[in-house]
């Protein structure tokens, strides 16, 4: 697997490092959205010339992959390692923690969907998830397929949630988002879309932790050997 791994060479005047650059990229992501995360934008944020960044990263894609790996690595591996808890609970803890963490950076949803999850943190997460699914009784092939299914469910859910909020602010509280969605459904014509109007209260809550856990439970039910 080809990876553009960052190096650890000392930077200009000793002010740069992989961590400093990723921190700056995350600040731009949170303050201005993903479009601001160019090499020039990151360099401006740090007060250095753009070519100073190339000591650490070969290109913008490598920076974005490092940001994704940071966001993945901030969460969840510890949840999967808690072997005193049942395997289903560990996957629940992983999914809930990672969802909450990504929603603190709504602009990251597109990055996570668009960048290969092949950094060291993502690989560690994947390995631990395979361990837990093997513990659940799945064979090697089924564990690999199930791992992909869990990640796709998680990232797809987060992407749809993040699409409804400002990418430069953490997602508002769930009750505020539900109220906004409910107002939209209230405008739907019951005569033209009767089933949608009748289900509006449930549909308004699609972006809640309750709905996320409901779907995750049914996904895990289907993985039981």
What fold characterizes domain 72-167+209-223? Tetracycline Repressor; domain 2 (1.10.357)
The pLDDT tens digits along the chain (225 residues) read 334 444 444 344 458 999 999 999 999 998 998 888 999 999 999 999 999 999 999 999 999 989 988 888 766 677 888 888 999 999 999 999 889 888 888 888 878 877 778 888 889 899 999 999 999 999 999 999 999 999 999 999 999 998 898 888 888 999 999 999 999 999 999 999 999 999 999 999 999 999 999 999 999 999 887
Contact 177, 164 (CB under 8 A): yes
Q: Structure tokens of 22?
A: 């990723």
Q: How far apart are CA 201 and CA 7, in angstroms?
A: 51
Domain span(s) for CATH 1.10.357.10 in the chain: 72-167+209-223
Domain span(s) for CATH 1.10.10.60 in the chain: 12-58
Q: For residue 129, give the H/E element and its range.
A: helix 120-135
Closest by alpha carbon to 66, among 56, 55, 52? 56
Contact 188, 200 (CB under 8 A): yes
Report how far apart, in Å, the C-alpha atoms of 18 and of each of 40, 61, 63, 110, 126 are. Answer: 16, 14, 9, 22, 23
Long-range contacts of 177-183 (CB under 8 A, 24+ apart): 177/207, 178/204, 178/205, 178/207, 178/208, 179/204, 181/205, 181/206, 181/207
pTM over 0.85: no
Q: Give me the CATH code for the 12-58 domain, please.
A: 1.10.10.60
Coil, strand or helix at 188: coil
Rama region for 166: left / alpha / beta (φ>0; ψ in -120 to 50; rest):
beta
Contact 115, 63 (CB under 8 A): no
């Amino acid at each position: 697997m080809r990876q553009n791994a960052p190096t650890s060479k000392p930077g200009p005047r000793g002010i740069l490092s992989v961590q400093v650059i990723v921190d700056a990229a995350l600040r731009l992501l949170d303050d201005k959205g993903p479009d601001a995360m160019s090499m020039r934008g990151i360099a401006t944020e740090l007060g250095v010339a753009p070519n100073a960044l190339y000591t650490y990263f070969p290109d913008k894609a490598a920076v974005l992959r490092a940001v994704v790996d940071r966001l993945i690595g901030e969460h969840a591996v510890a949840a999967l390692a808690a072997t005193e808890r049942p395997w289903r609970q560990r996957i629940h803890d992983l999914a809930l923690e990672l969802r909450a963490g990504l929603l603190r950076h709504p602009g990251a949803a597109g990055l996570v969907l668009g960048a290969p999850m092949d950094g060291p943190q993502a690989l560690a997460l994947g390995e631990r998830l395979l361990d837990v699914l093997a513990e659940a009784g799945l064979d090697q092939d089924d564990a690999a397929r199930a791992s992909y299914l869990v990640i796709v469910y998680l990232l797809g859910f987060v992407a749809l949630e993040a699409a409804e909020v400002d990418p430069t602010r953490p997602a508002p509280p769930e009750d505020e988002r539900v109220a906004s969605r409910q107002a939209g459904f209230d405008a739907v014509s019951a005569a033209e879309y009767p089933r949608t109007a009748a289900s509006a209260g449930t549909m308004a809550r699609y972006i809640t932790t309750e709905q996320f856990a409901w779907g995750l439970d049914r996904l895990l039910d289907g993985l039981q050997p």
